[in-house]
Amino acid sequence: MLKLSVLDQSVAVTGSTQDASIRETLALAQHCEALGYHRFWVSEHHGHPSIVGSAPEVLMAAIAATTTRIRIGSAGVMLPHYAALKVAEQFRTLEALAPGRIDLGVGRAPGSDMRTAQLLNGDPRQSAENFPLQVRELQAWVSGTELPEGHPGRGVTANPMGPGSPDVWMLGSSDYGAQLAAHYGLPYAFAWFITDGQGAEQALDAYRRLYRPSPRHPGPQAVLCVWALAADTEAEAWHQFSGRERWKLDRNRGVLGPLASPAELALRPYSASEQVEAARLRSTALVGSGPQVAARLRALTARYDVEELVVITWVHDATARRRSYELLAAEFFQGAR
């Protein structure tokens, strides 16, 4: 049976404050657990005027304290900013708080502009070039296995220890992350919502073809992270999509800010070139009624042979976002309301 999960980025919206977006993420996690979703992942961005989730490990602790079943994860920790040992300690602490429910998703991207990235990480030895070594160190410290002879961290333990350990995931939107996940025998999440599917087939093929079994994951495990929005009617779904659509048009011109409401956007008509660009966005967007979106999601899982989708939804109205997840749950989970 297809598993459905959630990625939330704590998006800033007009007419509200950024701290309210963090609290809305917490409320959404509780809502999605009640609906039957498998995982709830949160992201890491820095100095971003639209995406204000900057500390996934802190937000995950709050979610762990207010949920009981759903898996909780990072999508992801931008590992080049940090020492692998410290990340391992943070996530082993989360594992102690929510045993058997913690996913540690890691990525190589800065999650910020380069100036902010430099301020986050004052150690010149920490860089994206060292990412493969960091992943190897993180695996060892998270799982409690020993690092190789000669490694300066050999014999060092990431506490607290316990009977279980977080599940490490590799996140990516290119062949690089797919090949690294395959090399280390890790589950892999492809960020479809970043590339609009471009490169997905190539990355997943490389991941499966090059996969090296690991003790925890004897076979490859791949998921797609997709942007999708469902509403009670197709017309309502496209109405709610206007904020995301306008945001993407502005972003392509280097303008970032909070997500605007449909009412605000009605006062900002598109130029002729923007109309063309918006039509292109709509042609690939996973937007519609619950049955319409569910059908397209099922087609994606069949095309790419995955058994789990992680759904991200940006909507100005928190009620509309929750309703979207309700409608998808009703399509995929037996007995969901």
Structure confidence by residue, pLDDT tens digits, 76-104: 899 988 999 999 999 999 999 999 999 99
pTM: 0.94
pLDDT digits (tens, 9 = 90+) for 154-189: 999 999 999 999 999 999 999 999 999 999 999 999
- Tens-place pLDDT, residues 11-35: 999 999 999 999 999 999 999 999 9
- Domains for the chain: give ranges and CATH numbers: 3-229+290-332 (3.20.20.30)
- Asked if the model's pLDDT at residue 126 lies above 80, the reply is no
pLDDT value, residue 6: 98
What span, in angstroms and rounded, lies between the C-alpha atoms of 270 and 76? Answer: 34
Residue 119 has pLDDT above 80, yes or no: no
Q: Residues 287-308: what's their mean pLDDT?
A: 97
pLDDT band at 123 (very low <50, low <70, confident <90, very high): low
Residue 260 above 60 pLDDT? yes
State the pLDDT at residue 337: 42
- Condensed to tens digits (0 to 9), the pLDDT of residues 225-256 reads 999 999 999 999 999 999 999 999 999 999 99
